[in-house]
Every structure is written in structure tokens, then in C-alpha cells.
Structure 1
Amino acid sequence: MTKLIIQIPCYNEENTLGVTLAALPRQLPGVDHIEWLVVDDGSQDRTVEVAKECGVEHIIRLSCNQGLAKAFMAGLEASLKAGADIIVNTDADNQYCAEDIPQLIRPILLGQAEIVVGARPITEIKHFSPAKKFLQKLGSWVVRLASNTNIPDAPSGFRAFSREAAMQLNVFNEYTYTLETIIQAGQKGMAITSVPVRTNGVLRSSRLVKSIPSYVLRSLFTILRIFMVYKPLRFFLFLGSVPFSMGVTLGIRWLIYFFAGTERTRIPSLILASILILMGFQLWILGLVADLLAANRKLMEEIQLRLRRKDFRG
């Protein structure tokens, strides 16, 4: 018996939640039972009342606004406790076309994937600015590089998870979960794929993109942090190579002048070269330490997975 739970993280969504829920399916081929779950992320409006009026079976209430990533993880945990075999995550602003949910869960039902990400037609979305389209592509490229996956629309929040995949996920980033969960899937060797999905008209402005400069800074910080957490050795080796290379270049320059018999000692250049080389070595050592910590994190995640399997067995 296959149980599907459709979860929706919400923060002050009384104006759009009813439209989103009205489009969600109650029956689907290959699924025996469908339930809805709403995560109220500290809303101050009638979001919870709207969810109840629309017949939502599970309502999770966070005491205060904790952000999209925390709400997403709270939804996954609640869905697992409720016995979900497949979990679909969608947005409360009705951005994604609910009619595409059958295509989204099909690879999981067929046993072809554990995570499926809905790929939006980014270039065709009119309300996306050129800067946002560029950042969407940049973020997806970085995620592909860090995760060894081939997901064309990494920032998409329209995605499906198998029960086993949901138990393995952790989100450390407080801004969004989208990029990090894909990288985790690649790191853990989970089968992840993508299917094309459609989008609906705009009901409200984006909560994540309050302004282009803010979105750019947050996205760049998120991408940088992803590399530091999941590719620490590669990140610090690259970072350390910059001052090390500069130091070696200055050192070679000093040696050339020294053996050429110049009258100037050029001691400041030699000191600067030594400092830069030392900085490079320190960053490389930091990368080795970070890599060891990453290995320890993997062991802790394995222990966590075993505990979750016991807690959420059903």
C-alpha cells in the first residue's frame, strides 16, 4: 500500500494557500492513499484556518518564523512519522502546476530514482529578471559540479522523495534547502533525476527574492558555504593555491634579481613571498583538517540514519 503525503511549507499564505490546495490531487495512479501536510512557519494570519477549512490532514505549527529550510525539514520529519512512502514538496504560492505531480513521482514508483526534482522552463518564465535567471543557472551549475549530478534546475522546490531518501537528508543552511539536498544526494550516492514541469501565473512576489542585490549576496554565500561543507579539501586547496602561487612567483623573482647581482636587497619582497607561501600551506592544512571532519560527519549521519529507521519504521 503506497502512501503519498504532499507537504507545503507556509508563512502568511492565507491568500494563496486555498488556491494551491484546491489544485492538489486526492487520487493518483499507483498511489493508494494521499494526504496533505501544511507546515505553519510562525504565520500571523489565517494560514492555519485556511488549511483546516480545505481539509488538510496534518498541520505542523512552528512557534516562530524559522525560515524555509527549517519548515521543509519539519515537514519531512512529520511526513515520515505519518507513514509516508513518497513525499512531494511544493510551494504555497501555487507556483508549480499540481497536474505534474504524477510525472514527478513516476520515477520513484518505478524504482528508477529516490529523489525527483521538477525542472521549470526558466528561460520562458516572464516574471524572472535576467539577473535571477542567470543566478538560477549559476546555482544549478555549481550544484552539478559539487554533487556529480545532472539537475538542470537545482533551486526548484517542486520535488519528490522516497521514504528512504527523506530519512537520509539533513539541511544546515538556514536560507533554503534546495541546493544542499541535491548535493547531499550526490554525496550519498542516492539516485536522483529530473523531470520537466510547468509553472502557474504569479499570485505573489517571491519571499526569498526581496531584492536582487540581497538575493545575489545570499546565493553567493550559500554556494560558497556548500563548497566549504561538502568539498572542503578541494575548496581549501584551491584557496591556498592563490597565495602560495603568488608567493612562489615573488620568490622566483627575488632569486632572479639576487643571482643577477643587483645592488638592492629587495628584502620586503622576500618577506612578502614567505608570508604568502606560509598562508598557502596553512590553508592546505586547514583543508586536510576540514576533510577529516567531513569524514566524521558522514559517520554521524550513518548513525542518525539508523536511528531514524528505528523511529520511523512502519
Structure 2
Amino acid sequence: MIYKKKVVVIMPAYNAEQTLEKTYKEIPLEIVDEVILTDDFSSDNTVKLAKELGINHVITHEKNKGYGGNQKSCYNKALEIGADIVIMLHPDYQYTPKLIGAMCSLMANDVYPVVLGSRILGTGALKGGMPLIKFVANRLLTFFQNILFSQKLSEYHTGYRGFTADVLKAINFNINSDDFIFDNQMLAQIVDKNFEIAEITCPTKYFKEASSINLKRSAIYGLGVLKVSLYFRLHKWKIINYKILN
């Protein structure tokens, strides 16, 4: 708890057995009240390890629901148990849990209702091993999105995110895709509701065990990002009705 706000960390997991323990052990449990891990039908021992570590809530999917579907389970559970602040932390150890305190402080003090851990601010992305092609794609997509969203974010594609419960209750995230584009749809909904977004510099690590999507999936994701951005702008201009923004 921080400033009397209940803090819940959610971890959408898929085959995270090799990295889960070191990720969990770096979570600042002195301010984090509860941890939720949702396993998206892993083929390894992620669930067994999560229970051994004593994670408060371990949810298992009986079939693979996808990255977005996994997050929906996490956020719904966090709201169910009364979270005031929710931090999404990937259990693949790509993002450091040591920034949770800083992220929570901004939200608990009512400075910002949304905080993103940015790999692009500073030199963390390439230094941490982000492939050059992904770095370039990230910059181009972000430039395009900033224009259509009328924002000035350094990136829209980080998996390290914090939200107040008020934000999660104000947007209909359950209507979003179950695939990777879920993250961008969620940001579109947040911008549409005029919630301010803060960013903090986040070092990142790219290594064999860290999750990453292949080139084909990355291309599909990129096209999805362009679609979400265009639909957002056309909705704002009242040319179309984008259902996720209703």
C-alpha cells in the first residue's frame, strides 16, 4: 500500500518458468499488497512455480486466450479484489520490477492516472539489446500514432504499464482484441477519455528467455497499430463509429 492506496501487480504469463522467480523476487512487496499471475495455458511449470513462490492469486486458462485475453483476466481480477493501482509487469524479466515504486508514487499522489515505462526515453532500448529493426519500427509507428492521437509519447508499445482503478473502470477494455493489439486499443481508449499519461525511463533486457514475437507477428501487429490509429482519428472526426471508443 502506498498513501493508503491498494497496489496490485498483475503478471500475464505464458511459459515464464525460467524467468518468473527472479522477476517476482524483485517486486517491492513492502508497497505491493497482492500479486496476480494469469497463466495462458503454458506448457511448462509456470503455474507450479507461481504457487511455490506464494503468489497471492494464480489463475489458469484452460485454453490459450492470447496476450490480450490474458490481460483481461488480470485486470478483471485486480478490480474484483479492490485494487486502487494496478501495475502490469511481464514475468519474463524484460522490465525491471524496481520501477514499481516510482510508477505507483505518481498515481498514488494523483499526479498522473496512467504511467508507462518507456524503453525509448534515454538509451535503454538499444543498449538492452532491442533489435535495430524493432527499434526503427517502434519509432516510426510512434511518430504516426502521436500525430493521429495528438500526443507526445516516446512509445506506445511498452509492456510495462500502470493504471489507477478509475481508468480501468472508465474504459471498456473487455471489448478489445484478445491479441497483441489489445495494448494499443487500450491506449486509444485512455486517450479518448482524456486521461493524462506519464512516462518514466525504463531499462530493458533482450535475451533468449525473454518473450518476443516473430517478424510475421510483428508485421501483423504493426498493421493493427496503423488501423487502430486511423480508426481513432476518423472516430474523432465523426466520420466513423469506432466501437471500442463507445
Query: For this structure pair, what is the TM-score category when the shorter chain's length is used for normalisation?
Result: 0.7 to 0.9
Match of 1:184 in 2: 189
Match of 1:24 in 2: 27
Question: How big is the shift at 1:164?
Answer: 0.5
How is 1:60-79 mapped onto 2 (pairs within 5 angstroms)?
A: 60-79=59-78
Match of 2:130 in 1: 128
Q: Distance in 1 between matches of 2:109 and 2:166?
A: 15
Figure out how many residues of one structure are paired with residues of the other and give that number: 237
Match of 1:221 in 2: 223
The 3-state SS of whatever aligns with 2:58 is strand
- Residue 15 of structure 1 pairs with residue 18 of structure 2: yes
Match of 1:312 in 2: none
Structure 1: state its 5+ residue gaps: 236-286, 302-314
Of Structure 1 and Structure 2, the greater helix share is in 1
Question: How big is the shift at 1:160?
Answer: 0.6
Change (3 A) 1:126 1:7: closer
How is 1:164-313 mapped onto 2 (pairs within 5 angstroms)?
A: 164-169=166-171, 170=173, 172-173=176-177, 174-200=179-205, 202=207, 204-208=209-213, 210=214, 212=215, 214-232=216-234, 288=239, 291=240, 293-294=241-242, 298=245, 301=246
How is 1:55-134 mapped onto 2 (pairs within 5 angstroms)?
A: 55-120=54-119, 121-134=123-136
Question: How big is the shift at 1:297?
Answer: 5.8
The 3-state SS of whatever aligns with 2:55 is coil
Structure 1 residue aligned with 2:153, among 151, 154, 164? 151
Question: How big is the shift at 1:144?
Answer: 1.8
Question: How big is the shift at 1:84?
Answer: 0.5
| Deviation sequence 1:168-210 (CA, Å, 0-9, x none) | 33262322333222222111111211111222463514332x2
Change (3 A) 1:34 1:138: same
Alpha-carbon contact 2:5-2:108 (below 8 Å) kept: no
Amino acid in structure 1 at the alignment position of 2:61? L
Question: How big is the shift at 1:148?
Answer: 2.2
Q: Distance in 2 between matches of 1:60 and 1:151?
A: 33
| Deviation sequence 1:244-270 (CA, Å, 0-9, x none) | xxxxxxxxxxxxxxxxxxxxxxxxxxx
| Deviation sequence 1:220-275 (CA, Å, 0-9, x none) | 3212320343223689xxxxxxxxxxxxxxxxxxxxxxxxxxxxxxxxxxxxxxxx
Match of 2:39 in 1: 40
Q: TM-score, normalised by structure 2?
A: 0.87
RMSD over aligned Cα atoms: 2.2
Amino acid in structure 1 at the alignment position of 2:134? K
Alpha-carbon contact 1:117-1:151 (below 8 Å) kept: no
| Deviation sequence 1:104-147 (CA, Å, 0-9, x none) | 12210111111100011454335222111011112222332232
Q: Distance in 2 between matches of 1:136 and 1:67?
A: 22
Amino acid in structure 1 at the alignment position of 2:24? L
The 3-state SS of whatever aligns with 1:18 is helix
Q: Distance in 2 between matches of 1:23 and 1:50?
A: 16
Q: Which moved more, 1:222-231 or 1:150-159?
A: 222-231
Amino acid in structure 2 at the alignment position of 1:77? N
Q: Distance in 2 between matches of 1:201 and 1:223?
A: 22
Whose Rg is larger? Answer: 1
Identity of aligned residues (%): 20
The 3-state SS of whatever aligns with 2:141 is helix
Which fold has the larger relative contact order, with Cα–Cα distance below 8 Å and residues 6 or more apart in sequence?
2
Q: Distance in 1 between matches of 2:229 and 2:33?
A: 37
